[in-house]
Amino acid sequence: MADHVLQVQHLGKTFGKNVVLRDIDFTVDTGDVTCIIGASGSGKSTLLRCINLLETPTCGEILHHGVSITDGKFNPSKYRAKVGMVFQSFNLFNNMTVLENCMIGQTKVLGVKKEEARQTAMFYLEKVGMAPYINAKPRQISGGQKQRVAIARALAMQPEVLLFDEPTSALDPQMVGEVLEVMRNLAREGLTMLVVTHEMAFARDVSSHVVFMADGVICEEGAPRQIFENPVHERTRDFLERFRNN
């Protein structure tokens, strides 16, 4: 109980009459690399967006170190500073350079001094191989490079856990490679990660825990070896089968 970074309990989300998530239960511990897989429309991204409070859950609870973040009085800004997010569409700030993108959160949200923020930003930009591009604007770099900057921006906040919402889905195969390489290294260094992905090889090789979702519920979860080699549930088997055939 002591070291649960995030606990999701009986989480539900509806958009109007559409039930998107039903009774979701799972836990993220420090150092976990959890991959959420499943068909498009199964609610994976919505779940991630609920965890970062970009969507308000309809029912259920999310606990951050045992404290509920879903009750009304909670201040989402402080929480979000500790739980980073990397988006499918990068969402870099178009009016800032690569370096400024990685500094703004530190200086404005964490209150870090400029020089220190700059050093931290440079450290993480070097880690993702984007240090040479500090003066570029987002419109001047490629998709893969943007995503690496977005990862550096999230890391510069030194989050407890980093959420990835299909980080490679908008990229061509070459760029997918460079982004996955960065993520692989982060996992190796012990960063707590929660990754929604369609990259099955990444889920199989890198994650410590795999969650398979279908139709808004968690169908099956467990160690990657178990999910990929001995799936219990019919739907998991179907899904993985289809992926292998492609």
The Cα-based distances of 219 to 85, 215, 223 in angstroms read 24, 9, 14
Using rule CB under 8 A, residue 188 touches another protein? yes
A 10 A CB-CB count for 45 gives 20
CA nearest neighbour of 21 among 62, 54, 64, 50? 50
SS3 203: helix
Instruction: Mark the segment that binds another protein (CB under 8 A) among 63-71, 80-88, 208-216, 228-236.
Output: 80-88
Q: Provide the mask over 147-166, with x wherever binding to another protein is found by CB under 8 A and - wherever it is not.
A: -x-x--xx--x---------
Minimum CB separation of residue 140 from another protein in Å reads: 6
> What count of residues does the chain have?
246
Q: Among 23, 25, 65, 93, which residue sits at the site for another protein (rule: CB under 8 A)? A: 93
Minimum CB separation of residue 230 from another protein in Å reads: 22
- Kindly report the CA angle at 162 between 244 and 124, in degrees rounded to 5? 105
Instruction: Mark the segment that binds another protein (CB under 8 A) among 7-15, 134-142, 209-217, 219-227.
Output: 134-142
- Span 33-72, contacts to another protein by CB under 8 A: 52, 54, 72
Q: How far is residue 4 CA from its own chain's centroid?
A: 17
- Span 8-37, contacts to another protein by CB under 8 A: none
Q: In terms of CB distance, is 24 or 48 closer to another protein?
A: 48
A 10 A CB-CB count for 243 gives 14
CA nearest neighbour of 104 among 50, 150, 51? 150
Is residue 121 within 8 Å of 102, Cβ to Cβ?
Answer: yes
Q: Which residues bind another protein (CB under 8 A)?
A: 52, 54, 72, 76-82, 84-85, 87, 89-95, 97, 104-105, 108-110, 123, 126-137, 140, 142, 144-145, 148, 150, 153-154, 157, 173-174, 176-178, 180-182, 184-185, 188-191, 199, 201-202, 205
